[in-house]
Amino acid sequence: MILHIEMSAGGIPFEKGSLKGKLVLECPGRAALSEVFKIRPDIEQLLQEVEAKGWMHFYVDHEANIIGEVEFNGTEYQIVPWSVLRGPYGMFIDIGENFPELKGLELKKLVYNVYGRNTYPRAVTVDVQNKVITYVNDAFWKWEEGWEKDEKKTVAALETCEILKWFAGKGFSLHESYDPERYNALVEKFTELAKSRTSATHV
């Protein structure tokens, strides 16, 4: 296995030589979710709590960089091009079968849709790594006066409100594209509406 490293410096090392020490490598991409859950059991626990509430979650996307480490012990290197004296240059290192050792993962984002019986396919979209709610169901967010006569929209808005409040209690925040004042007003409205509907069913 050969590594090619791009570097830049005011002075260039010898054209050939040997290396000692460790090199940390970060490979952007999508490490397997099973590996993500090994280092972040709290996320798997959160999804289990979602299920316990009677809601469902659907995986959308994730980005997890793989962190590896290569140890050098007298490994030879070659500077390319040979004639360079300063500035950008490349370094070829033949490490043979000394493949990088996996040291960990750096989770950048992990996105799920969450929904209930009345909000399929999604009430909200959440990035569980960054604790951000990136999408809110239109039945809730675009609510208009008069929609309360539409039972389907009403129950979807109420369910979305319940899910939003639960995630807020877990420390999640709305994406900056959503107006927090409107959010607070809608939460208050639907909380009161839910109470009135509950009271009516017990009369």
Q: Across residues 113-130, what is the average pLDDT?
A: 98
SS3 at position 119: coil
**Same domain flag for 103 and 120:** no
Q: Helix 180-201 crosses helix 151-169 at what angle (to 10 degrees)?
A: 120
**Same domain flag for 99 and 123:** no
Q: Decide which of 107, 142, 159 is a domain's last residue.
A: 107
- Residue 168: what pLDDT? 98
Domain count, the chain: 2
pLDDT exceeds 90 at position 113 = yes
CA distances, 168 to each of 67, 108, 149 (Å): 32, 21, 28
Residue 46 lies in a domain: no
- Residue 11: what pLDDT? 52
pLDDT exceeds 80 at position 20 = no
**Same domain flag for 99 and 125:** no
- Residue 71: what pLDDT? 79
**Same domain flag for 76 and 156:** no
- Residue 26: what pLDDT? 80
**Same domain flag for 122 and 87:** no
**Same domain flag for 103 and 132:** no
**CA 48, CA 121: separation in Å to the nearest integer?**
19
**Same domain flag for 100 and 22:** yes
Instruction: Give 77's contacts (C-beta < 8 A, 6+ positions apart).
Output: 16, 17, 18, 19, 91, 92, 93
**Same domain flag for 102 and 128:** no
**Comparing C-alpha atoms, which of 147, 109, 143 is closest to residue 125?**
109
Query: What does R_g of the chain's alpha carbons equal in angstroms?
Result: 26
Tens of pLDDT along 34-54? 889 988 999 999 999 999 999
pLDDT exceeds 70 at position 138 = yes
Q: What is the mean pLDDT of the chain?
A: 85
**CA 170, CA 9: separation in Å to the nearest integer?**
47
